[in-house]
Structure 1
Amino acid sequence: MSIPDAKIHPVATGVAAKTVANHEGPQDLIFHAGWFCPYVQRTWITLEERGIPYQYKEVNPYHKEKHFLDINPKGLVPAVEYKGKALYESLILCEFLDDAYPSYKPTILPADPYTKAYVRIWVDYVTKNLTPGFMRLVQAQDPEKRKEYVGELLAAQRTLAEQVKGPYFLGEEFGLVDVALAPWIARDYIVAQHRGCKREDAGEAWKKYADNLAKRPSVLNTSSDLEHYEEIYGRYLRDEAQSESAKAIRAGRAIP
Structure 2
Amino acid sequence: MPSTVDEQIHPHASGDAEKTVNAHSAPQDLVLYAGWFCPFVQRTWLALEEKELLYEYREVNPYKKEKEFLEINPLGLVPALVYQNKALYESLIINEFLEDAFPQAKPLLPKDAFERARVRLWIDHVSKKVNAAYYRTLQAQEEEKQKEALGELVEALQKYLDQVKGPWFSGEEFSLADITIAPWINRLYILKEHRGFKDELVGGKWKEYEKTIKERPSVLKTTSEPQYYTEIYQRYLRNEAQSEVAKATRAGKALP
Q: Post-superposition shift, 1:4?
A: 4.4
Contact 1:41–1:183 (CA<8 Å) still a contact in 2?
Answer: yes
Say which SS state the counterpart of residue 223 (structure 1) adopts.
Answer: coil
Match of 1:247 in 2: 247
Letter in 2 for 1:8: I
Equivalences for 1:208-247 in 2 at 5 Å?
208-247=208-247
The match for 1:179 is 179
Quote how far apart the aligned CAs of 1:128 are. Answer: 1.0
1:5: Cα distance to partner? 6.1
Shift of 1:143: 0.4
Partners in 2 of 1:236 and 1:178 — Cα distance?
25
Structure 1 residue 193: Cα displacement:
0.3
Q: CA deviation digits over 1:4-45, x for unaligned, max 9?
A: 466310000000000000000011101000000000000000
Question: Is the deviation greater in 62-71 or in 82-91?
Answer: 62-71
Structure 1 counterpart of 2:194, one-letter code: H
Which residue in 2 is equivalent to 1:43?
44
Q: Where does structure 1 differ by over 6 angstroms across 4 or more consecutive aligned residues?
A: none
After TM superposition, the structure 1 = structure 2 runs for residues 15-164 of structure 1, keeping only pairs within 5 Å, are: 15-105=16-106, 107-164=107-164
- TM-score, with normalisation over the residues of structure 1? 0.97
- Determine if contact 1:162/1:205 at 8 Å carries over to the other structure: no
Given that 2:137 and 2:150 are in contact with CA atoms closer than 8 Å, whether structure 1 keeps it comes out as: yes
Q: Deviations over 1:125-170 (max 9, x none)?
A: 1111101111100000000111111111111111111111011101
1:3 aligns with 2:4: yes
Give SS of 1:16's match: helix
Looking at structure 2, the residues matched to 22 and 195 of structure 1 have their Cα atoms a distance apart, in angstroms, of 36
> Can you list the C-alpha shifts for 1:164-212, whole angstroms capped at 9, x where unaligned?
1011101111101111100001100000000010223210312211111
Partner Cα distance (1:196, 1:165) in 2? 28
- Contact 1:7–1:231 at 8 Å: present in 2 too? no
* Aligned residue-pair number: 255
Residue type of the partner of 2:124? D
Gapped regions of structure 1 (runs ≥ 5): none
With 202-211 and 142-151 compared, the bigger mean Cα shift is at: 202-211
Say which is worse superposed, 237-246 or 109-118, in terms of deviation: 109-118
- My pick for the range that moved more, 5-14 or 175-184, is 5-14
Q: Secondary structure at the match of 2:205?
A: helix
Distance 1:145 1:63, change over 3 A: closer
What is the CA–CA distance in structure 2 between the aligned matches of 1:3 and 1:142, rounded to whole Å?
26
Q: For 1:246 and 1:151, how far apart are their aligned partners in 2?
A: 20
Which residue of structure 1 aligns with residue 207 of structure 2? 207
Aligned residues of 1:12 and 1:36 also touching (Cα < 8 A): yes
Does the CA-based 8 Å contact 1:161-1:206 persist in structure 2?
yes
Alignment RMSD: 1.2
Cα drift, residue 64 of structure 1:
3.4
154-163 or 46-55: bigger deviation? 154-163
Q: Following TM superposition, by how much is the alpha carbon of 1:114 offset from its aligned partner in structure 2, in angstroms?
A: 1.2
Indicate the percent of aligned positions where both proteins have the same amino acid: 57
Deviations 1:69-119 (A, max 9, x none): 1111111000010001000000110110011111111x1111221111111
Matches of 2:132 and 2:20, distance apart in 1: 28
Deviation at 1:121, TM superposition (A): 0.7
Distance 1:151 1:63 in 2: 35
Q: What residue identity is the alignment partner of 2:187?
A: R
Q: Secondary structure at the match of 1:63?
A: coil
> Residue 129 of structure 1 aligns to a residue in which SS?
helix
Against the structure 1 CA distance between its residues 82 and 94, is the aligned structure 2 distance closer, same or farther, given a 3 Å change threshold? Answer: same
Unaligned runs of 5+ in 2: none
Q: d(CA) in 2 for partners of 1:212 and 1:174?
A: 11
Deviations 1:36-68 (A, max 9, x none): 000000000000011000000000223333221
